[in-house]
Amino acid sequence: MPKTDELQETAVIYTDGACSGNPGPGGWGVYFKWGDHEKELYGAEKVTTNNRMELTAAIMALESLKRPMKVDLFTDSSYVRNGILSWIAGWKRNGWKNAKKEPVKNADLWRRLDQAAAEHDVEWHWVRGHSGDPGNERADRLAVKGRDEAAGAAGRARR
């Protein structure tokens, strides 16, 4: 990771995931602000879980940055925040096994998130979902848009 004093701009990023059923059609959304710039990203999977969509949103946010940056990343997922700040060190030490010696769920995405976060100086923040925070609400709308598109595609595929 680059030295913090080498990074000039701070990206403010809000991420969210949405899923209908668990598993079911899901979407992820990302809202960025840095300097005078704003950007939105979203995507979907036909069959997934909410936790996978929450992780995917954070991954896509960090992987989309074109250079190392300071990042204030806001998520309404305690799973994502606790995982990256607390649990991941133990999982890596234990060969991606949890405390019960079972394989870590979503290890593929946790590895990818760990690698993406290492490229930046990330401060992880938790924000209560659906509480009126404008950035979180915007990311949620994007995640729901992705989920709805996935649900529509899944519905069309079944016909």
Half-sphere exposure (Cβ direction) of 46: Cα atoms closer than 13 Å: 7
Confirm whether 133 is a catalytic residue.
Answer: no
Annotated catalytic, 140? yes
121 part of the active site: no
Go through the chain and tell me how many residues it has. Answer: 159
**Looking at 17, 43, 135, 146, which residue is catalytic?**
17
Catalytic residue among 54, 120, 121, 146: 54
Which residue is catalytic, options 21, 123, 130, 152?
A: 130
- Helix 50-64 with 134-158: angle, nearest 10 deg: 120
Q: Are 126 and 76 in contact (CB under 8 A)?
A: yes
Q: Are 73 and 123 in contact (CB under 8 A)?
A: yes
- Whether residue 114 lies in the annotated active site: no
Q: 129 catalytic, yes or no?
A: no
- Answer yes or no: are the C-beta atoms of 8 and 68 closer than 8 Å: no
Query: Token digits for 43?
Result: 């995507």
* Alpha helix segments (H runs only) across the chain: 50-64, 78-82, 88-93, 107-118, 134-158
Active-site residue, selected from the candidate residues 45, 76, 120, 146: 76
Catalytic residue among 29, 135, 140, 146: 140
The catalytic residue among 16, 26, 43, 120 is: 16
Enzyme catalytic residues: 16-17, 54, 76, 130, 140
